[in-house]
Amino acid sequence: MKTLAVLLPTYNAAVYLPTALNSLLEQTFSDFEVYVYDDCSTDNTAEVVADFKDSRIHYIKNTENLGIAKTLNLGLALLQDSYEFIARMDADDWCYPERFEKQLHYLRHHPEIVLCGTQGYWVSDFEFTPKRGWTVPEFNEMLRVNLLFAASFGHSSVIFRSQALKQHALCYDETIKT
């Protein structure tokens, strides 16, 4: 079984993809593959991805626009049997170089944990600012309480154990319009 797959859905985000993909390729942990799932973009997404000559980047285009939930579920179905961990990343995000190294280290040293994520920053005019209303949890109990009422970490920062998804038949709710 391979170690890590990065599931990156995109729709008309070609302008952001180079930053996202470069931040992935600059990771200190390098045993991963990136799966860019194009949900029928009408921009030059395919060309942007093709410009990256790294064999770890794979491009898959839906035959019709399905929305993010269905696209993510297609990706999970394809990847969960082949990878120990699956990471989420969005086309308009980027991550610090140590992201995978630190998250995988934590998950490997805490086998009872199935998901690991981080807080994020919103960028406006290239200024980093915490999102208003986000509370940064400082303790595990605070994190658990926050999860009842709000997001304690960014969805596109999550890494999870793929077998936990399979074992509990977890997937994205495709009835939610996105």
Convert the chain into a string of H (helix), E (strand) and C (coil).
CEEEEEEEEECCCCCCHHHHHHHHHCCCCCCEEEEEEECCCCCCHHHHHHCCCCCCEEEEECCCCCCHHHHHHHHHHHHCCCEEEEEECCCCCCCCCCHHHHHHHHHHHCCCCCEECCCCCEEECCEEECCCCCCCCCCHHHHHHHHHHCCCCCHHHCEEEHHHHHHCCCCCCCCCCC
Q: Where are the domains of the chain?
A: 2-118+154-167, 120-152
Q: Does domain 2-118+154-167 match CATH 3.30.43.10?
A: no
pLDDT digits (tens, 9 = 90+) for 60-82: 999 999 999 999 999 999 999 99
> Can you give the pLDDT at residue 154?
74
In tens, the pLDDT along 90-148 reads 999 989 999 999 999 999 999 999 988 877 665 555 555 555 555 566 666 766 666 66
